[in-house]
Structure 1
């Protein structure tokens, strides 16, 4: 019989989902030169001194970082500094080389964590948060980013909405394991309860996402936040004839890495794996690409769900109409989330593409920050749920 995954074996929590719990907010004294620039990153980008500040940084020995949480914060800091360095002068001013002060430690830390040296949901979103009031539970109002790149309070709300999504997903991830255990045990009542919990979790994720417009203005997102999530395979790089970004001291060949995108999140792939949703034609290779930007334990968790007891097969071979209805309710919630996400992308990206006044960034609306035709990608994943 197939094995049921245990969340703790894959760095997953029933309370915080894929988030790093209690992340560090500062690095040891030796690494304070990084922190000093990162804490002033928005200011340095605004006054166009960020590249000068980074060129003045010493080449620090990343191997002196001790412990997983220190590595994770270093990844956040180096991701932010790199995005600021690359995009601070707009699309026409992108560099061909990332200086060794960033390139060497960024590549080294990323290698230790098993992810590419590029901004991603993992490198940026999952460890870049803290509680404003540690005596209160996590909520959108009580969450704050450790580092923001550009966009001020709007940026903070955007990033923390993602963190709140991860928290909303946590009970659903636990319910997936419970559902597979119920299948293994032939426990119809237990499976029924788990399916209800999965549906409730997906609906809560959409509820959190619907709060995006409360404090994140579409124009500020499009013109200030989104460009700094873009990777090295973007239209701006291609227009300049660049096949990526050279990491000085690491490789003489450019690295063609994608930017940060919600498609790198492990949340929806976990629900897809649990419910048997298969990517439609042309999507599988894209999903495999984005999976490379997930940490190995999270990728392995999704694979473990896929190879675990089949909820779908059990439900529809059981002939139990209640279970079948609850299973379909989960799929409907997933399809509704994806439909809502398309509406949100239409408002924050498509509608803004013709309105933005920032002439430094005119090409970034042509593709998703992950390098895909984002609307086609989103619609095909919605259709897969249907």
Structure 2
């Protein structure tokens, strides 16, 4: 029996807003009973500045979550406690590994209800952390958005979250469009599939332009030193001061340490939807494709046998980072992606109709635009993390031993120290999700081109390190577009060219977030 096309309403997905809530998130929990939580969040920056946050949180009452009535209230409570918890852990000179009962007990209950881990996630910082300035204006317009909460109170942090909100909103119509294309492919309505793919490619190009607006109002120095440390979880954070992870003290005495990844754009359901619907397959970092390369002489029968429904749905191996990130999505959103995996057929359909040039061109254009989007993200990671990390190490080395820098242990300082030991100790800069990400990001980008159908497009899109594709020093060519901000050499080294000079970075560095 052919599985049914998923209904968006069954999975808390909106045809208008996609994975964003249909109604703007609550700006305040309406019941005065929860005023102690809201008061702490409203004064978060002042409490950290005066070093009172931890003592204030320790004295909070343990509030009952049973008084949360609507899903909007549960989401708001998750946002509030997530921000307070991370500020409690990372907001001092050294991180604290134990969260007290006033936070631990309700945070665990709320997380269980929403089917998300008790940690700051993409859902709490992006999906449920925005409001429109004017209700009658669209929310895919950055000039019509504001955040509800930040750790630093800075414009830079708000902008960092809001760019993702706008991307989610701008991409939302693609969900229904491509599910209609899946249905059309079942009945061989190629014209509908072609038009859907063309619109998809244009939207992906638009999203790339929207992503680069990050540079408008988010300063790399502010992000690296002030914002990024608060987004870290407890996974792989020994160098940052959390060797065991985090312990949620519920007052029982038998609690165990847990390690969760921090907030990450890999937790965006819309980005994973793009991969699934196009049949892009991601593997654990460092592994090679498990299927043979496809050339223009491959037969239709070969294609059909190679692309089983599982492969076509782009199911990642159980131990892959991409798959693991679904645990950090709202439960219904993760189940929606699983349902889409069972029905995704576009890649298989295009493979079986490779003689339809308009169809294959539209499909390959989507892959090219998605690969370009990932390339832009690697450039952003380089600018916001790699360059800032090396600047920090350079400044640390230049300080006089008589005047050492103030010691404040967090993700930024740990990244700088670890980065300085790359060659000697093999340590790597960590992203907020707890993993070294340049290798991950580059492999994810290169994997995006693997399903390409046309032989020329496949050569163009599969031009990763060592692939033998033509390169221009300091430039990359994708789909005829020249990208001059970053070049990647055959050795795997990335070169970033900017107004102040050229930096070279290697695979050992980490990233902002995970796309």
* 1:329 partnered with 2:365: yes
Q: 2:447 maps to what in 1?
A: 384
Distance in 1, matches of 2:134 and 2:261, equals: 35
Q: Is the 8 A contact 1:234 1:369 kept in 2?
A: no
Deviation at 1:214, TM superposition (A): 0.6
> Are the structure 2 counterparts of residues 364 and 101 from structure 1 closer, same or farther at C-alpha, using a change threshold of 3 Å?
farther
Give the structure, 1 or 2, with the largest relative contact order (CA under 8 Å, sep 6 or more). 1
Q: 1:363 maps to what in 2?
A: 414
Deviation at 1:152, TM superposition (A): 1.1
What SS class does the counterpart of residue 354 from structure 1 fall into?
helix
Distance in 1, matches of 2:152 and 2:5, equals: 42
Q: 1:314 aligns with which of 345, 349, 355?
A: 349
Q: 1:246 maps to what in 2?
A: 247
Distance in 1, matches of 2:95 and 2:284, equals: 34
Q: 1:197 maps to what in 2?
A: 199
Larger CA Rg, structure 1 vs 2 = 2
Q: Where is the strand percentage greater, Structure 1 or Structure 2?
A: 2
Stretches of structure 1 lacking an aligned partner (at least 5 in a row): none
1:138-162 deviation line (CA, Å, top 9, x unaligned): 2211111111111511111111111
Stretches of structure 2 lacking an aligned partner (at least 5 in a row): 288-316, 396-405, 417-428, 450-515
Q: Is the 8 A contact 1:171 1:197 kept in 2?
A: no
Q: Is the 8 A contact 2:236 2:243 kept in 1?
A: no
What SS class does the counterpart of residue 355 from structure 1 fall into?
helix
Q: 1:346 aligns with which of 382, 398, 413?
A: 382
* 1:160 partnered with 2:145: no
Distance in 1, matches of 2:207 and 2:85, equals: 30
Q: Is the 8 A contact 1:173 1:198 kept in 2?
A: no
Deviation at 1:377, TM superposition (A): 1.0
Distance in 2, matches of 1:33 and 1:183, equals: 54
Q: Is the 8 A contact 1:10 1:298 kept in 2?
A: yes
Distance in 2, matches of 1:264 and 1:7, equals: 19
Distance in 2, matches of 1:364 and 1:63, equals: 41
Q: Is the 8 A contact 1:277 1:384 kept in 2?
A: yes
Distance in 2, matches of 1:351 and 1:247, equals: 35
Deviation at 1:204, TM superposition (A): 2.0
Deviation at 1:71, TM superposition (A): 0.2
Q: Which moved more, 1:164-173 or 1:39-48?
A: 39-48
Deviation at 1:354, TM superposition (A): 2.4
Distance in 2, matches of 1:254 and 1:133, equals: 44
What is the Cα-based RMSD across aligned positions, in Å? 1.7
What SS class does the counterpart of residue 208 from structure 2 fall into?
helix
Deviation at 1:240, TM superposition (A): 4.5
Q: 1:374 aligns with which of 413, 420, 437?
A: 437
Distance in 1, matches of 2:190 and 2:212, equals: 33
Deviation at 1:46, TM superposition (A): 2.3
Distance in 2, matches of 1:326 and 1:359, equals: 54
Q: 1:300 aligns with which of 328, 335, 338?
A: 335
Q: 1:125 maps to what in 2?
A: 126
Distance in 2, matches of 1:210 and 1:359, equals: 34
TM-score, scaled to structure 2: 0.72
Distance in 1, matches of 2:171 and 2:377, equals: 16
Distance in 2, matches of 1:43 and 1:136, equals: 33
Deviation at 1:309, TM superposition (A): 4.4
1:71-108 deviation line (CA, Å, top 9, x unaligned): 00000000000110000114xx1112101110000000
TM-score, scaled to structure 1: 0.95
Distance in 1, matches of 2:415 and 2:40, equals: 26
